Structure 1
């Protein structure tokens, strides 16, 4: 299912692009940092094989669904990945949803990048996938991510437990 409008987007400051086979090092660097992954239910990645496995899933998302997480680069520094964000299909409590996610290197925290990327993702989902519920699953102690969801106009819908970890589910108002 080809959705070319999802594969590459730009904002005033950022390039959002589909993950590619040659992004292994960037994915590993972002996900192997304990600080960046302190609220991740799986913790931080410890090996390149961990990155290969998750990248395989994400590449499959793009191939099968035409939608997936983007790697994010600053337009002023092409080729330098500063984060990951966007949407991917997942099952949540037996329902197929679009999961909104964002993760950025600590040096960019507070820059508004998560909100900027998420606004593009929400607009594309509303235009092209309006029939699929959209959620953000956030650890209750991740205050920065909770603020991003609220800034996007999302509201707390319910609490869920995934892999033994409690999370909050935010939905579009």
Structure 2
């Protein structure tokens, strides 16, 4: 399946994306605000990519690989994003863009496409986004989409003991939902 969001082609990930995704996820500018995004080896990227491909095979949807449709850079990998099932009852909105693609509105574009897909596919599931507190760029993008902060607490996945994470959602979440989504 290949579709577009206007300026971006949105497509399923394939194994041949590994090299470009490794370059993106090993770029220090990308991981500066969220070290948990770091890919320290091509093997790590290949394993993550295989999980993304398996999500598509299992569910028929998942995160898209993003390629520009514009001008001389047409076909260039911009990043990865969209909505995927986080739990059996919630969507997770995410986007990671190559630093040279920041500031062009691509995060908003792919996030909007992901939210629209989620709302059509399973409107009963909340659309959520989990973001590192120090990642203010992503926080601003998520807030512009109309998601609201539901929770703030320790980031259980970051080895930094002071790392905090934020949970955003498109609706009010119950304490049980918050617990499920943050632990």
Q: TM-score, normalised by structure 1?
A: 0.87
Give 1 or 2: higher helix fraction: 2
In the other structure, the counterpart of 1:17 is 11
Pairwise mapping of residues 9-88 of structure 1 onto structure 2 (< 5 A)? 9-76=3-70, 77-88=73-84
1:41 Cα offset (Å): 4.7
**RMSD value, Cα:** 1.6
Larger radius of gyration: 2
After superposition, the Cα gap between the structure-2 partners of 1:133 and 1:17, relative to the gap in structure 1 and judged at 3 Å, is same
Q: How does 1:69-148 map to 2 (within 5 A)?
A: 69-76=63-70, 77-91=73-87, 96-148=89-141
Measure how far apart 1:67 and its partner are.
1.4
Q: Does the 8 Å CA contact 2:15/2:46 hold for their aligned counterparts?
A: no
Q: Judging changes above 3 Å, is the alpha-carbon distance between structure 1 residues 41 and 90 closer, same or farther for their aligned structure 2 residues?
A: farther
Partner Cα distance (2:141, 2:26) in 1 = 23
CA deviation profile, 1:115-148 (whole Å, cap 9, x unmatched): 0110011011111111222211011121111111
Per-residue deviation at 1:159?
1.9
Aligned residues of 2:80 and 2:97 also touching (Cα < 8 A):
yes
Q: TM-score with structure 2 length normalisation?
A: 0.83
Q: Tell me how far 1:162 sits from its aligned partner.
A: 2.8
Q: Offset at 1:43?
A: 4.5
The alpha-carbon deviation at position 68 of structure 1 amounts to 1.0
The Cα shift of 1:35 comes to 1.0
Q: List runs of 5+ in structure 1 lacking aligned partners.
A: 1-6
* Kept in 2: contact 1:38–1:44 (CA 8 A): no
Which has the larger strand fraction? Answer: 1
- Which stretch has the larger CA shift, 158-167 or 7-16? 158-167
Consecutive aligned runs of 4 or more in structure 1 exceeding 6 Å deviation? none
Unpaired runs of at least 5, structure 2: 172-183
| Matched-pair contact (CA < 8 Å) for 1:87–1:121 | yes
